[in-house]
Amino acid sequence: MLGSLLLAGSRVPLVRRAVSGVPLTRKVVDRFVAGETTQDAVASVHRLTDVGLAVTIDHLGEETRDAEAAAQTADAYIVLLGALRELELGDRAEVSVKLSAVGQALGADGDKIALENARHIAEAARAAGANVTFDMEDHTTVDSTLGVLRAVREDFPSAGVALQAYLFRTEDDCRDLSHEGSRVRLVKGAYAEPASVAHQSKSEVDKAYVRCLRILMAGRGYPMVGTHDDRLISITETLADRFGRSLGEYEYQMLYGIRTDKQQALVGAGHTMRVYIPYGDDWYGYFMRRLAERPANIAFFLRALGGK
């Protein structure tokens, strides 16, 4: 219930002002967000890749409401990818893009604007030897996001996409996207969705995740397993054995600042472990979803506010 309230609050301007106005909020945000500038993001990339982790970087921002701001977000990614190119990390460093941040929400022309900006980002990623993965947002954007993905893959076939297991449709989407060369990040889902389109209970979401994961692991694509759950990690290993996948034929992904000990353990076991690094000054929506996902995150926030 508390998680649902936080997700609802993430879209309320009054709640945003209240949370953002608490001085100690920044202390907690720093746990989940790498900083506000390209330099901050690159510093985190250095720190994590130096200990064997791979990274995917998200320039924070959602639901951009004008074409100029969408173009500025795309430009920020291009600058970031230029910095990554100099590091020569190749596919150990990629970017994650919310299409609503690059124009998807701009009315009738939204898909066209988002596609144009997504192509520019994909071109910069190719020049850096990196990949781009499109994040998935709420259920109303799924068809649009998959349409942009198909168009981008015509010239950039390594472009990936995130799918959210809690949506009823996602098993079918996994089947459609489990072909050779297809990169798919599977996550549980972090938006407040109605019961008409998504599983509501944790147990049903977990079961849906496993069904989707089985489809991806049995397919010919490249699964990117987005989870912090030990049980799901164990199931992933079982499915990898069952379907003859070796290390390097799938990867794990976890969020910046969460379960860092487990991240290092997976690297030590020979896995590709990619950390999702968010940066930028538009951190509020991302921050609220992280609080909503796990009670431990909420407790961490409250302890910080209490000065403990």
Which residues are known to be catalytic? Answer: 135, 185
From CA 188, how far away is CA 202, in angstroms rounded?
10
From CA 275, how far away is CA 155, in angstroms rounded?
26
Amino acid at 50: D
- Three-state DSSP class for residue 197: coil
Look at phi and psi of residue 67 and say left if phi exceeds 0, alpha if psi is from -120 to 50, else beta.
alpha
Q: Residue 13's CB: how many other CB atoms inside 10 A?
A: 7
From CA 50, how far away is CA 72, in angstroms rounded?
30
DSSP sequence for 251-276: EEEEETTS-HHHHHHHHHTT--EEEE
From CA 241, how far away is CA 261, in angstroms rounded?
24
Query: Tell me, what DSSP letter sits at residue 191?
Result: S
Q: How far is CA 167 from CA 124, 163, 263, 307, in A?
A: 32, 9, 27, 38
Instruction: Report the candidate in 97, 100, 144 with the shortest Cα–Cα distance to residue 121.
Output: 97
Residue ranges in 50-66 assigned as alpha helix (H): none
From CA 259, how far away is CA 263, in angstroms rounded?
6
